[in-house]
Amino acid sequence: MNEIKLIIADDHKLFREGLEGLLKKHDNIKIIKSVADGDEFIDIVKNQLVADIVLLDITMPNRDGFQVLKELKTLNSTIKPIVISMYDDGNYIAKCAKLGAYGYLLKNTDESELILAIKTVSKGKKYFSPEISEKMINFMSTQSISENVLSNKETEVLGLLSKGLTTNEIAAKLYVSSRTIETHRANILKKLEVKNTAELIKKAAEMNLI
């Protein structure tokens, strides 16, 4: 089995040393470099240092984990990043996944899981534990990104408008203020390029929005 060449990028010396101590016990994992910030890491990447995996912290001086992920993408680097962070919120995980992280680990992850993640990623697979995955998915499910002309909320407002509900009724139903509904309505009118509610219903029907 090939030796896995590893870089650790974290600003905490104590953490790096602890991690090194932990990984030293595993013969097929070799820590070839340990850096304290993002810039330093990108420098060695640019110097064509050959490595398989980087254990990357998000919170670092000079260049944080997110920027490093972006830079790796730009540089078309073959180094596979595993983010190892204190943050356990879905948004951090989702963002890292989106930026090309191969795995996401919490810093207090058990040794066994850490090794499993390194090994999985070294085979070119991604590793997200069930808990991490759940957090990520929970987060992403709250994000209502619509590909349509109207946002999801605007489509909802439009539907209620077409049923003949007043602004106040819609506001109460959607748990927003009346002014919010008025603004949504105004934005819908603008987006569909119509002047009043009657025209709006007609056009929306034509566009199959309702």
Q: How far apart are the C-alpha atoms of 86 and 105, rounded to whole Å?
A: 9
The reply on whether position 15 binds other proteins by CB under 8 A is: yes
Residues 46-85 within binding reach of other proteins (CB under 8 A): 59, 66
Q: How far apart are the C-alpha atoms of 184 and 115, rounded to whole Å?
A: 50
Contact range with other proteins by CB under 8 A, out of 27-35, 38-46, 102-110, 158-166: 102-110
Burial 98-132 (b: 16+ CB within 10 A, else e): ebebbbbbbbebeeeebbbbbbbbbeeeebbbeeb
Sequential DSSP letters for 63-98: S-HHHHHHHHHHTT--PEEEEEES---HHHHHHHHH
The reply on whether position 143 binds other proteins by CB under 8 A is: yes
Among 48, 74, 76, 108, binds other proteins (CB under 8 A): 108
Among 183, 191, 205, 207, binds other proteins (CB under 8 A): 183
The reply on whether position 110 binds other proteins by CB under 8 A is: yes
Structure tokens at 7: 């870089």
Among 153, 165, 169, 189, binds other proteins (CB under 8 A): 153
Residues that bind other proteins (CB under 8 A): 10, 12, 14-15, 17-19, 21-22, 25, 59, 66, 86-92, 95, 107-108, 110-111, 138-139, 142-145, 151, 153, 174-177, 179-180, 183-184, 187
